[in-house]
Structure 1
């Protein structure tokens, strides 16, 4: 406990007194060339070139940061025209261009919905177009209506409309806790539900310290009694989903106490010898090391100023690795 208290104090001192000199260019040109189709669809090169709302939201954020309004509009228009669910005002999460029905799965993914609404809200402010804000407000309202629930003493956002409510519990994805977006929603709307969601999500993250690594798994089960455990339908790994947890925590507040477990985990290995994932149930590590965008998240959270510019997209980066790099660059710029 003493070591954690000292680490928290170090985090706070770093955030308050260290000169944060980041301020880097977001590598939108390379992302745009490699992953944006002319019609506005972002392709997931690591997943058979499908598209999903996560990628569309990321793309909108990246185009916005680069002040590329034509690209932003193309991505948003394609998303609205092809993925919007008229039944609930949210978005079908997945588009498979080679399927007879590209949106056969009518479920949504609340991280994608959130990212889209967040990008639209920022675009309304940047480009002074009220239509963006109206669209964002509608998505935010739909999220509150359909996806935010009170369960086991917590206000939580379900990962999607279907498949996450179980007989004696619910399944959460902590990487869908897009805290900086929720902060902006709260500032804009002044709705208490966003503040409650932020507070309770951080309460939950503080308890999602599983196994020897003390890290959250990608998918987490919350019982009706309020107990937390890795969700049984997925590997008990802190992996490619969970890497976004420290990213969003840092983005929301670089001195957030929930970052302490990540500092502990990453400080156990040399930078180039950090496992890409760990099984929180048995402490088994991946046989390969962290790289690309995952490494960029590590560098962000560990606040290594010498690596501040290491977010350029390189040939080996697939869609997800490239996306993480650009998100890291935007997060750094947000605290510049």
Structure 2
């Protein structure tokens, strides 16, 4: 029975491989990926956040696994997945603890998961399984997707959304929603893989939320959103209402999913375009309530997201002088730009 199941999984994986090969074609230059592995990926497969005490996140493991699929690097992918599965997997569900601390006796002080890490890992496993004909990766992705729906799906009024984590984000008066955790190309892939599952509805509800969750006179998304019990959306009163380090991934994921022309991106384009005539870089964040901006410029990686959304091209810069997060954004925009160029217009999403 087990051998028959493996054979069926392999057939399914190979069947999808032809469809996804073009989407996984490597960007034109592998130099940044080589440098990324050298600077941020330890031999055992742990991705280090150099801007945050060399901790590791499920998000970073997912980022690097996506990169490995794009650069056709199954050996690095295997190391990344092995460390992630062994070290971050929760014992109670097929999701992942969000943070690993390399110092001290307690390496995982918080057992909570993070939706973006879970989604990126599941998407990377699906991509890798399809590209390399590895049914065990496809199966692991299916298990993670099932756990996400079982543990994180929340109803608030007429909205059905995914909570950022199992613990601490849902209360009697509403829930917290993180727009940057909405990895739209992953949601599209999940819905395509399981068309009769809840994923299609989750994808559509998430896209609706991204279109609605814009605030202030600048009409921009923010890092964290409160959704009340009736489905109303507000800036989270417990966090600064900024379009900043988290929310910058909203336009990245929308563009990557083929929605670069979505009206939800119009205010983002206006904001970033306003700095182009001056020749000055955009600030790293803006408070949508007060209009206060960061006293420092957006990083190279964040600026590359702006380039991608405004021009369809990612920055060609090197990651040599960038930290983990800026480097991750830069490489992901380069991958997104390449994958969007290789897809015909008919593949764009609603």
Aligned to 1:325: 330
Aligned 1:116-135 pairs, distance under 5 A: 116-135=121-140
**How far apart, in 2, do the equivalents of 1:291 and 1:94 lie?**
23
Look up the SS of the partner of 2:217 in the other structure. Answer: coil
**How far apart, in 2, do the equivalents of 1:274 and 1:51 lie?**
28
**How far apart, in 2, do the equivalents of 1:335 and 1:95 lie?**
33
Look up the SS of the partner of 1:155 in the other structure. Answer: strand
Equivalent residue in structure 2 for 1:142, among 134, 147, 153:
147
**How far apart, in 1, do the equivalents of 2:43 and 2:338 lie?**
28
- Whose relative contact order is higher, 1 or 2, with alpha carbons under 8 Å and at least 6 apart? 1
Look up the SS of the partner of 2:160 in the other structure. Answer: strand
Aligned to 1:290: 298
**How far apart, in 1, do the equivalents of 2:317 and 2:139 lie?**
33
Alpha-carbon contact 1:202-1:258 (below 8 Å) kept: no
Look up the SS of the partner of 1:191 in the other structure. Answer: coil
Is 2:74 the counterpart of 1:69? yes
> 1:249, CA displacement in angstroms?
0.6
Look up the SS of the partner of 1:149 in the other structure. Answer: strand
> Per-residue CA shift, 1:66-114, capped at 9, x if unaligned?
2221111011000000010120110010000103111120000010000
Equivalent residue in structure 2 for 1:158, among 154, 163, 170:
163
> What is the number of equivalent residue pairs in this alignment?
312
Alpha-carbon contact 1:24-1:309 (below 8 Å) kept: no
Look up the SS of the partner of 2:298 in the other structure. Answer: coil
Is 2:263 the counterpart of 1:257? yes
> 1:304, CA displacement in angstroms?
5.7
Aligned to 1:334: 339
**How far apart, in 2, do the equivalents of 1:311 and 1:187 lie?**
34
> 1:52, CA displacement in angstroms?
0.7
Aligned to 2:174: 169
Aligned to 1:188: 193
Aligned to 1:215: 220
Alpha-carbon contact 1:272-1:290 (below 8 Å) kept: no
Aligned to 2:282: 274
Cα distance change on mapping 1:224 and 1:138 into 2, 3 Å = same
> 1:127, CA displacement in angstroms?
0.7
> 1:156, CA displacement in angstroms?
0.5
Is 2:293 the counterpart of 1:310? no
List gaps (5 residues or longer) in structure 2: 1-25, 342-350
Alpha-carbon contact 2:281-2:298 (below 8 Å) kept: yes
Look up the SS of the partner of 1:272 in the other structure. Answer: coil
**How far apart, in 1, do the equivalents of 2:312 and 2:47 lie?**
31
CA-atom RMSD in angstroms: 1.5
Alpha-carbon contact 1:311-1:328 (below 8 Å) kept: no
Look up the SS of the partner of 2:165 in the other structure. Answer: coil
Aligned to 1:37: 42
